[in-house]
Amino acid sequence: MKLIDKVNKALEDDRCFWSFEYFPPKTQQGVMNLYDRIERMCNLGPLFIDVTWRWGGKSSDLTLELCSNSQTVYGVEANMHMTCTNTNFELIKNALDKAKDQGVQNILALRGDLPDNSVEFDPSVGEFKYATDLVRYIRQTYGDYFCISVAGYPEGCLGPEDIDRDIEYLKAKQDEGANMVVTQLFYDVDNFLAWVDKCRKAGITMPILPGIMPIQNYGGFKRMTDLCRIKVPQEIWDRLEPIKDDDQAIKDYGIEVAAQMIRQMQAGGIRGFHFYTINLERSTRLVLERVGLVPAVSEVRPLPWNPSLSEKRAGENVRPIFWRNHARSYIKRTELWDEFPNGRWGDARSPAYGELVHGVQVRLSTEQAVRRWGTPASTDDVKELFVRFCRGQLDTLPWSDTPLQPESALIQARLAEINSRGFLTINSQPSCNGAASTDKMHGWGPPNGFVYKKAYLEFFVSSSAMKDLLARLDTEPTVTYHAVNKAGELLTNCAEDSANAVTWGVFPGKEILQPTIVERVSFLAWKDEAFDFWNAWARVYDRASPAAALLRAFSDEWYLVNVVENNFQKDSASIFELFDGLGQPLPEKAQ
């Protein structure tokens, strides 16, 4: 979808909105971490994200990959930067064709830095002189397909003496087909508001989004403002000087400054705010919280998972629960499907899930993994790590790159308890009987609806403990389960191969939606990944080490089990009562 349509709708509703900018990391580990960050920050409700661009095979390809995956996997519109200095029509067309092929419909058109820090344009090294030329080319070549954003400079591109000339250039970009403006960062709000007024008087009607960069540290702030020739009010320098060696105090003050800027701009009629995150999360989140810019549940969670913006997956509204923490993997393994479930789950055997070609990875470096998880020497050591994760004392495990879902706070203590007994959980949800769709804990979907959930647990367990558990589950008429080992030997009490809806919602004027299901074929496809995470964890250590051997044994000898309590009217605690007295609890000291 074109951003200008979303921006105009928000402005029509007099509704504040915000967006986040990221840059492509230089390492694969950094890329994986950024994906995790983008996924988390989508919960803050950005209208869109954008990703910076640098010409050169891997860098420009990564920008497009980040934009495409953000839309397809995380369901957030992406605005792709594109620079034109030192390029030609063929290079630009190839890049734009790739963007179009991958469903990226929004471009931030920039001139980019001149080579070798020069200030004069050399026509012999490219066919584009200014961003205006790029805007004209995009519009002439692709018509109305792309929404085109352009840069604005409230303090002049090269200095205050350029302000009037820059406004003329901005008007020319609008005349050539640009749709909206994202400004360079600034800290003088009075000057920004005066500049917006000048733009309006010059006939610029495009929406203007101010660029906000929360201060992170003194040295970086000084370098950035010097590089961009940004005027910083003396009051800010005076406040920074006595705390310049205290990074935390600087960050806290940066949050205060950004929040005050937004309040002042809101009073001046500004409704959209663009955050230069420099790939950091905390300051942006705290600024939004400070000024009360918290998205509605229906905006952040139209479904319990982020719907894809891929045209091919339009209308998809049912997924298996197993990939809850691994959306990118699910998208990859289903990308060759011709149709995606809408309203009901079809037969996952036709077409089949794609193979797990390259295996899974731990999204931490070896040093980070050892620092977080130590070097487990026994089953009890592993159990203790799972317990700590359930208690919020550990922020990641190989199966989950983020802490427990907020809803898990309702069952946190019981999760920790069964993990201490050797039922190592990797997915769970509490039951819910008709919570409002706006509920902060359980809610999803449009307002004035009601949502329902069956209690669900997914865990690894030793074969001996599993036998005792299944003997108990077989006596429970409302409980269904699947248990499988690495070799694919399946045990289940489900007589049929049909899908079991574990989440559904009832909304005014709509059919019942059931977006999350448990289903046998999907579970057997997921188990390959689930078991492979043990091997990925083992690879953190020397292959011949006791720790690696221990973790491989979990993969080779344990079972993966999912359990559903189908009576959603029961309290969430009831599913945990099935485990009472089973397993071997950790010694008290370990807990």
How many CB atoms within 10 Å of residue 172?
16
Catalytic positions, written as ranges: 21
* Residue 270: φ, ψ to 5°: -80, 135
Question: Alpha helix locations (H) across 118-269?
Answer: 131-142, 163-176, 189-201, 218-227, 234-240, 247-267
How many CB atoms within 10 Å of residue 53?
23
Helical packing angle, 131-142 and 163-176, nearest 10° = 10
Please provide the DSSP assignment of 249-276 as one string: HHHHHHHHHHHHHHHHHHHTT--EEEEE
Interacting residues of 426 by C-beta distance below 8 A, sequence separation 6+: 325, 397, 399, 400, 458, 459, 460, 530
Interacting residues of 105 by C-beta distance below 8 A, sequence separation 6+: 1, 2, 145, 146, 147
What is the C-alpha R_g of the chain? 26
Question: Among 362, 357, 360, 315, which Cα is nearest to 340's?
Answer: 315
Chain centre distance of CA 436: 25
Residues in the chain: 591
Evaluate the CA torsion angle 581, 583, 584, 589 in order and state its sign. negative
Please provide the DSSP assignment of 483-500 as one string: EEETT--EEE--SS---E
Q: Give the integer Cα–Cα distance in Å for 474 and 482.
A: 12
Q: What is the DSSP letter of 474?
A: T
How many CB atoms within 10 Å of residue 339?
11
- The amino acid occupying position 339 is E
Helical packing angle, 28-41 and 57-72, nearest 10° = 30
The answer to whether 324 touches 562, Cβ cutoff 8 Å, is no
Q: Which helix (H) or strand (E) segment is 50 a member of?
A: strand 48-51
How many CB atoms within 10 Å of residue 94?
11
Please provide the DSSP assignment of 350-390 as one string: SSPPPP--S----SS-HHHHHHHH----SHHHHHHHHHHHH
Task: Classify residue 370 as exposed, middle or buried by CB count within 10 Å of its CB (0-12, 13-18, 19+).
Answer: middle
Task: Classify residue 227 as exposed, middle or buried by CB count within 10 Å of its CB (0-12, 13-18, 19+).
Answer: exposed
User: Tokens 């089953």 sit at which residue?
Assistant: 379
How many CB atoms within 10 Å of residue 261?
22
* Residue 242: φ, ψ to 5°: -75, -10
The answer to whether 305 touches 444, Cβ cutoff 8 Å, is no
Q: Give the integer Cα–Cα distance in Å for 260 and 237.
A: 16
Q: Give the integer Cα–Cα distance in Å for 506 and 518.
A: 19
